[in-house]
Amino acid sequence: MDRGRVDRYSYRVMRGLTLVSVSLVFVIASMLFLKSLPILRSVFILDLLFDSSWFPLRGEFGFYPFIVGTTVVTVTVMALACPVCVLSAIYLSEYASPRVRGVVKPLIDLLAGIPSVIFGLWGVSYVVPVVRDRVAPWFDASTTGYCVLSAGVVLAIMVFPIIISVSEEVLRAVPFESRESSLVLGATRWETVKHVVMRRASTGILSAVLLGFSRAFGETMAVLMVVGNTAQVPGSLFEAGYTLPSLIANNYGEMMSLPLYDSALMFAALTLMVLVGGFSLLARVTQRRITRWTS
């Protein structure tokens, strides 16, 4: 039957596309690994990862500043974003009137679509001066404003929409009966949220946070514009830093001009991929533990 043939062929085509697509993960990882081999062969891997001196001209490729930079920025982002986002999500799901929700939710969706350069523009023109002139003096520090903290603030705003919208969905998905059983015992709404709703929603909120985390980890443009791009291990939040994505973005043009430089940058990309992947894995394992723990 002609129809049967259409069905069978389309099945094969679709399946083929799927297989090719998912194998991409391995293709990309292998390719990056292959291109990293030169530098992995010439420098011992632990030195590569933990050495702090980055002088490509002298052939020194210590990635430690970048790994620390990326981690510190991401941790800052999470520290700033998580409380704000979770609280906002709780408010939107449990307390806000439909009118407030109808205004705030579209605004958050709008935030989600804004390209990262725009965040960078805002960072340069607003966040950097504020950090330099208002925040740092308060802590008795002096900075140009182009520092890890600025990057953290800008990125935090960038991940707000993801974490808030997923968390809010998760919270609303908790069935009304659960809330009911707490309220009829005389608990306040907040206590209900604290003890009942959050417990049911905790894995979902964790995945929301992790989604935000991976977005922040890999973000290039906005960070590049405000983080200072200095290859040092930042001693404080007010010092300039350098992240792995910004490293790659800033230097890919000169890759071919110095020996091992291209291999080093590909190794940076590979490290980035491994770190993000590793974190997702950790996330899934923790999620499973939490589900077992709360059920």
Partner 1 sequence: MIDDPAIQVRNLSVHYGKVAALRNVSAVVPRNMITAVIGPSGCGKTTLLKSMNRLLEIYGDVKVTGEVIVDGVNVYGDDVEVTELRRKVGLITQTPNPLPMSIYDNVAYGPKIHGNGGTEKLNQLVEHCLRSAGLWDEVEDRLKEPAANLSIGQQQRLNLARVLSVEPEVLLCDEPTSSLDPVSAGRIEELLRRLSVDYTIIMVTHTLRQARRLSDYAVFMYMGELVEQCYADKFFQEPEDPRTREYIEGIYG
Partner 2 sequence: MDKLGWRRMEERVFLALMSGSILVVVGSLLSMFLTVLGKGMGALSLAMVTQPPRGGYYLGKEGGVLNAIVGSLYLATGSTVLSALVSLPIAIYLYEYAGESRRTSYTRRLLDALCGVPSIVYGAFAFTVMIYLRMRASLLWGILTVTLFEFPLMTRGMDEVLRTVPNRLRETAFSLGSTRFEAATRVVLRQAMPGILTTVLVGFGRAIGDAAAVLLTAGYTDNIPSSLMDPVATLPLAVFFQLSTPIPEVQQRAYASGIILLLMVLGLSVFSRWSSKRLMRYVVR
Residue from 4, 113, 186, 253 binding partner 1 (CB under 8 A): 4
Instruction: Please give the helix or strand (H or E) that residue 274 lies within, else none.
Output: helix 261-294
Binding partner selected for residue 219 from partner 1, partner 2, none, CB under the kind-specific 5 to 8 Å limit: partner 2
The number of residues that bind partner 1 (CB under 8 A) is 3
Q: Is 3 in the site for partner 1 (CB under 8 A)?
A: yes
Residues 32-51 that bind partner 1 (CB under 8 A): none
Our finding on whether 1 is near partner 1 (CB under 8 A) is yes
Q: Determine, following the binding rule CB under 8 A, whether residue 5 of this chain makes contact with partner 1.
A: no
Which region, judged by CB under 8 A, interacts with partner 1, from 1-9, 76-84, 103-111, 162-170?
A: 1-9
Residue 55, beta-bridge partner list? 60
Please state, as a whole number, how many other Cβ atoms lie within 10 Å of the Cβ of residue 157.
Answer: 19
Angstrom distance (rounded) from CA 120 to CA 227:
10
**Helix segments in 43-135, DSSP class H:** 45-50, 64-90, 98-113, 116-122, 128-130
Query: Which residues, listed in sequence order, are joined to residue 61 by a DSSP beta bridge?
Result: 54
From the CB of 163, what's the least distance to partner 2, in Å?
A: 10
- Report how far residue 28's alpha carbon sits from residue 278's, in angstroms, rounded to the nearest whole number: 16
Using CB distances below 5 to 8 A depending on partner kind, what does residue 104 bind out of partner 1, partner 2, none? Answer: partner 2
CB closer to partner 2 out of 111 and 206:
111
Quick one: what does residue 191 bind among partner 1, partner 2, none, with the CB cut-off 5 to 8 Å set by partner type?
A: partner 2
CA distance 13 to 9: 6
Q: How far is CA 140 from CA 60, 101, 153, 271, in A?
A: 34, 40, 19, 35
- Residue 151's binding partner out of partner 2, partner 1, none, with CB under 5 to 8 Å set by partner kind: none
Residues that bind partner 1 (CB under 8 A): 1, 3-4
